[in-house]
Chains A and B, each alone.
Chain A
Amino acid sequence: MASADIELMAHLMRRAGFGATYEELEKYAAKGYEAVVDELLSPMEQPDLEMDLLERYFVDWKEMNALEVNQAYLTYRMINSERPLQEKMTLFWHGIFCVGNSKCEHGRQIQHQLDMFRELGMGSFPKLLLALSVDPAMVFYLDNCMSHKDAINENFGRELLELFAMGVGMDGHANYTEEDVKECARAFTGWTIANAIPRYPYGRFPSQFAFNAADHDYGEKTFQGETGNFNGDDIIEIIVRQPSAARFIARHLYNFFVADEPQIPAWQGTPPRDMAAIKEMEDAYFESNYDLTAMLRVMFNSDWFKNARFEKVKSPAETVAGTMRLVKDFTSPKPGLHPIAMEIRYMGQDLMNPPTVEGWHTGQEWIDSGTLVERINFTADQMGNVTLPGVKDIISRLSSEGINQPGAVVNRCLDMLGAYTLPEETRTYLVDYISKAGELHPGTEAYGGQIAQILQLIVATQEYQFA
């Protein structure tokens, strides 16, 4: 079985990234855990994707004006980015600061928002909130462009408090009042977008944020007990000082990276699964002056993170991107990426088009009879394709190790997919299956097929659905 170092590294890379091949895990393990965490937390030190090459071959990526085009691009990034945590954090914020293509109908504009998450998503929380508040896709999605000084629209103001920065409540009490919502909305009046150029005949143009001073309510406001002539940036400055903001981010980070938690509507009355862990992240938030990387560092280096193995159901994006990283397909531009990207949608996560502003419910809610079948069919199709480089690598490695005993084959296949473990009953079933398939002769064509079958059976297990 894989060493403890490899098992821990597999856990880290599944959570802080989209998984890794066994060869990559060996390299990471040789560097040491904290060094790898440091590397993950410093994405700008790793090369970005070469966009000129990608736009040359995926010609539609230079324009990126349709949802499906953007979804393919996002999928490619998740499969290939050498800055996996940056990509994971982009997905994290996308699931919280939701905008949907069903309303925006402008894929590139949402892509710009995701680019902003890539740039700011691991830095200062107030800066991120400010960028979000002037993001044209958000301004449009939550109707802040329809909020006027003499007729406020509460939508953005409410969600900023409820779903983006504080949450309805914690420890059994409310975090804000209805009056706070109204005052918040007043402070953001005049934060709007310029009138857009219509899509016909030459396609969409990026929208532009505009501050309309004539439509801003300059009057006195009282928010969270403080009074002044607040503008939107003053509101953000007050929000980030609240204990509720620290709690809000800490719980989201815990749910996304550590272990499945109850969904956000339950947070007011349901205490965190691990209050001590949440407290450590809250402390890091305040001690670092609201720095997200400081929270991530505390989290990844903690024992409670390291010990939370397979405590999370993989999201569809993690399932698809993680499997593609293992089979090493689409590592360079080639036709046929769209159906791979669509698998994420079919498994219940229509990226850049979440069901509501609350985003996707996670954990067990990812799984139903339909999405489970999608997961198993997709992952088994990939693992059964012995022409894919990653599958070939696994077969080649087992061959070179001369592994020919059924039990050892199953164990080594589990290692290769990321140091998984199976309940004894399931493992015995796999061992029996391969035993009945005939003798194992490493290096033969038949051996490759037998290994692929074991890989297919492993990805079809309940255990593979967990990260």
Chain B
Amino acid sequence: MSDDTLTIAGRSFGSRLIMGTGGAPSLEVLEQALRLSGTELTTVAMRRINPAARGSVLEVLQRNNIAVLPNTAGCFTAGEAVLTARLAREALGTNWVKLEVVADERTLLPDPIELLDAAETLVDDGFVVLPYTNDDPVLARKLEDVGCAAVMPLGSPIGSGLGIRNPHNFQLIVERAQVPVVLDAGAGTASDAALAMELGCAAVMLATAVTRAQHPALMAEAMRHAVEAGRLAHRAGRIPRRFHAEASSPMAGRAELDPEAPAF
């Protein structure tokens, strides 16, 4: 719905699906998936330039009018992440950064101490900081307190496709946050994205679920619909869960019938 835009740091987006670009088998497949996802904001990583590389992910984003969101993937310390963010700002002309500071390669879980340190430094340096964080309500609050423009808790480890392992924590984060809460990592299929939105997330960020699906373009389209459906359901207000059935048809006014007739 056009009147239900996602707003981060004063900037509005018609789509609530933030895409990543990692994992796609080719730029052609990626471009088709990005188009069908409807995304308006998409992440890239910063790496050493390869003179032999053909094509550029930046060109794909530019010609599809998708805003670029550099990340700090691969950083293990606050220092590495801050320098990577500054290089991205210089290279791409944006002060937005998806801040990732992970603890180890096996889990790729955020290192909360380094993350908070980097977030504070980058906010002070004028960045719009979108941190990839644990699904920890306390850490989410602290990231917001140091000035992050959104918080992006993980549903489950990056690339795992395990969905949202702790929906209750998401509810706790959403309940208190004054900035947008974005599911980041863990979505495996459309229902995961829909659930995130139903829980009150402002947006969903994903890459692997689409780029490594058997049919990336189809999954991109599925994710777009899932995010929209989940958002609508959240706004609509779901019914409370009940242990027992509750009839929706009235009992009053039923016909008086002989339960034994007609005989079958």
A complexed with B: no
A contact residues vs B (CB 8 Å cutoff) = none
